[in-house]
Each structure stands twice: as C-alpha cells, then as structure tokens.
Amino acid sequence: MSSEDVLLVRGLFEATNRRDFPAVMAKYAPDIELLVGSGYPTAGTYRGSEAVGRFFADWLRTFDAGFHFELTEVADGPDAIAVVARHRATGTRSGITLDAEMFYVYWIRDGLVVRVEMPNSRDAAMRTAGLPP
C-alpha cells in the first residue's frame, strides 16, 4: 500500500475521534464490504456504504461522547493495512468502562476504503494484511 493509503486510514480514526462522521463516510467506496469477526456480538458481513455506516453508527451510539481510539500500531502490508487501536469508552446505558484493543484491516482502492475486516487478534490482523504476526 502507499503512504497516502496509510495516511487515509489514520485520518479515518482522527475523524472518528473528533466525531466528523461525514468525513469518514466520504472515504468509503459505495460498494465497501465490512467483515466483523466471530468474537464480536455483531459478527457478520455488511455490504455497501449505507450498511457499513449504519453498523459503525449503531456501535458508537452504545458509548458516551467521550469514546476515543488511539492507534498503537499501523502496519503497511502488500495489499492491505493492519491497525491495532486501543478503544476507550464508557457505555451509554451501563456506565461500564471499556479499554480494549481492537484490530482492523483496510483495503484501499483509488483513494477509497473498499473493504474492512475486524479480526479477533493482532496476529490475525497481520496475517490478513499479508504480514508476519
């Protein structure tokens, strides 16, 4: 992947942290595909920018406005970018504090995200991106 693609992925998390969801959606291809790993309660495949946007909106709505992602590792693979992010948030209803590592793999084509996978581990994310674990 190119350095511009890595910057695009970093920018997605920065935009999410500042709640600029239109900026995030503008970087999703219309036919984007999201694969959520079996370790998540919302596991499955979501297709199209509307479905993927709805997935992330529903998920983020479960947290108060103070949620934050800190990228702890961004690895540039031959065809995809693996991301390890620390997600800190408090549940809107439960008040439970979340402080967990999340894993993502992004595929970029022509400046747009065409596919995102959310595997269950760092090693899986690295392998999916074509990198050694």
Task: Say yes or no to pLDDT of 9 above 70.
Answer: yes
Q: What is the pLDDT of residues 77-129, one digit of tens each?
A: 999 999 999 988 877 778 778 888 999 999 999 999 999 999 999 999 999 99
What CATH number did the domain enclosing 25 receive?
Answer: 3.10.450.50
Strand partners, 100: 87
Question: b/e per residue, 41-68, with b = 16+ CB within 10 A?
Answer: eeeeebeebeebbebbeeeeeebeeebe
Number of domain units in the chain: 1
Contacts of 125 by beta carbon, 8 Å cutoff, 6+ apart: 82, 83, 84, 103, 104, 105, 117, 119
In the chain the beta strands, taken as DSSP E runs, fall at 28-36, 44-47, 68-76, 81-90, 97-109, 112-118
Strand partners, 33: 47, 115
Within-domain flag for 25: yes
Residue 11, pLDDT score: 97
Strand partners, 115: 33, 107
Which residue is it, tokens 């946007």?
53
Residue 133: pLDDT band with limits 50, 70, 90:
confident
Expressed as residue numbers, the domain containing 53 is 3-128
Q: Cα 122 vs. chain centroid, distance in angstroms?
A: 13
Within-domain flag for 133: no
Residue 127, pLDDT score: 97
Percent of the chain with pLDDT over 90: 68
Task: Say yes or no to pLDDT of 131 above 90.
Answer: yes
Tell me what the pLDDT averaged over the chain comes to: 91
Residue 1, pLDDT score: 61
